[in-house]
Amino acid sequence: MTTLFSSHRIGQLALPNRVVMAPMTRVRAAAGGLATQSMATYYAQRATAGLIVSEGVQPSVIGQSNPGTPGLHTDEQVAAWRPVTDAVHANGGRIFAQLMHGGRVSHSSTIGTQPVGPSAVPATGEVFTPDGPRPAPVPRALETAEVAGHAESYAGAARRAIEAGFDGVELHGANGYLISQFLSSNANLRTDRYGGSVVNRTRFAVEAVAATVAAVGAERTGIRLSPGGGFWGVEESDAREVNTALLSELARLEVAYVHLEATADEEVLLGLRRAWPGTLVINPVFPMGPKQTDRADADRWLGLGADLISFGRAFIANPDLVERLRTGLPIAPVDEATYYQGGDTGYLTYGAYQHVA
C-alpha cells in the first residue's frame, strides 16, 4: 500500500518519502542575487523531505520579479549556491531549483528596465519593489523574434543549476508569471504563433521545457502549473483545454514530473491526472488560502492518484515536518509577518519538536 512515507523514484533520484517541500519566496538573498549561508542552513534543516524545490530563482536579470531573490545567471551565483546544495546533500536530501521568470510581474526599479510580457497588459495589483509596493506597470510586449531567447533562458539557468549542485530544476509555469502569462487567455493577446489558439498559447511553455530538457535531461526537468489560478489577474478561460494540451506535449518530452496546484475544481484536476502519464506532484490546497495542507489532505490525494504531495507553509515553521507527519505530532504555526522581512528571524528560528518529559 502506498503511503506518504513510501519511496518513489524521479529519474535517477530515489526519494525516501513522498513529501515535497514546495517552492516558497523568502527574499533572503544577498546583493547580486547571491545565495547565503543562512539559506544553506534553512534548506539543510528541511532535508528529510523526499524532495526540496527551492524558492523561485530568476534565470536572467529581466526575469527577476521581487527584490531580494536569488539568481542562476552568473558565475558568482553558481558559486554562492554550491554551499546550499552541498549542505542539503550532506544531510541526505535532494533539491531542485525552481526557475522563475516573472515577466510582467516586476518593476523597472527592480530590474532597471521595463518588464516584458506576452502583451502590453499589466498585472492586477501592486508588485514588490526596492521602494515598497508599487502599481504593476504596463509591460513591453515581446517581439516574436525575442520569445525564443526567453525560453532559452530557462535552459541556461538549468545548466548553471546542475553546475551549482542541484539535482534538477522545476520551471515555474504557475501563479501568473511568464509561462503562465503565455498560457493565459487575457494576458496573452498575441496574434502570432505564440497567441490565440490553445496550441499557440502553450508554445512558449513547450519551447522552454524542450530547451531545458535538451540542456540537462528530461529526468532532471519538472514544471509547476496552476490551472485557472487567477494569480496577478491572469485568467485561463479554457483551463481544462489549455492544460490538457500542454500535458500532452510534456508527456512527449518525458519530463520528470508535473507539479499541480489545487487551483481548479477537483474534476478538472482529476482529468489532468488522467491526461498525465508520469509522476504527479500535487499541492492539495489553494496557495496562500486560509487552510494549510495536512496529513489528511495528503492521504486523500495519494488515494486519488497523486504520486507526491507538496507542503508549503507548514515547512516554514516545521523543519522536521516529515517526522511530525509520520508520528502525528502537532504542526507549529508560522508567523506570517516574517515571511518577507529578511534576516534570520522567522527563517532559522524555528526548531524541531521538543518533547516534554
Handedness of CA 237, 184, 206, 26 (dihedral sign): negative
Pairing mode of beta strands 19-21, 116-117: unpaired
Phi and psi angles of residue 310, each rounded to the nearest 5 degrees, phi first: -100, 140
Element (H, E) at 141: strand 140-141
Q: How confident is the model at residue 297 (pLDDT cuts 50, 70, 90)?
A: very high
Phi and psi angles of residue 303, each rounded to the nearest 5 degrees, phi first: -70, -25
CA distance 202 to 215: 20
Task: For 213-227, give the DSSP string.
Answer: HHHH-GGGEEEEE-T
Do 314 and 292 contact (CB within 8 A), yes or no?
A: yes
Do 133 and 126 contact (CB within 8 A), yes or no?
A: yes
CA distance 297 to 175: 21
**Helices 198-216 and 239-253: crossing angle, nearest 10°?**
30
CA distance 353 to 355: 6
Distance of CA 205 to the CA centre of its chain: 14
Can you tell me whether residue 202 is helix, strand or coil? helix
Catalytic residue among 42, 43, 177, 347: 177
Q: Is the pLDDT of residue 124 over 80?
A: yes
Position with higher pLDDT, 124 vs 354: 124
Q: Is the pLDDT of residue 180 over 80?
A: yes
Q: Is the pLDDT of residue 288 over 80?
A: no
CA distance 1 to 147: 46
What amino acid occupies position 205? Answer: A
Q: Which cell numbers hold the place of 262?
A: 489545487
pLDDT at site 355: 79
CA distance 332 to 287: 18
Q: Where is average pLDDT lowest: 31-45, 104-118, 274-288? A: 274-288
| CB-count burial class (<10 Å; 0-12, 13-18, 19+) for 90 | exposed
Instruction: State the average pLDDT over residues 320-324.
Output: 98
Across the chain, mean pLDDT equals 96
Q: What are the boundaries of each domain within the chain?
A: 8-308
Position with higher pLDDT, 357 vs 65: 65
Give catalytic status of residue 347 as yes or no. Answer: no
* Topology classification of domain 8-308: TIM Barrel (3.20.20)
Q: How confident is the model at residue 208 (pLDDT cuts 50, 70, 90)?
A: very high
Q: How confident is the model at residue 357 (pLDDT cuts 50, 70, 90)?
A: low
What is the CB-side half-sphere exposure of residue 4 using CA atoms within 13 A? 25
Question: Taking every pair of C-alpha atoms in the chain, what is the biggest distance, in angstroms?
Answer: 68
Handedness of CA 251, 204, 313, 318 (dihedral sign): positive
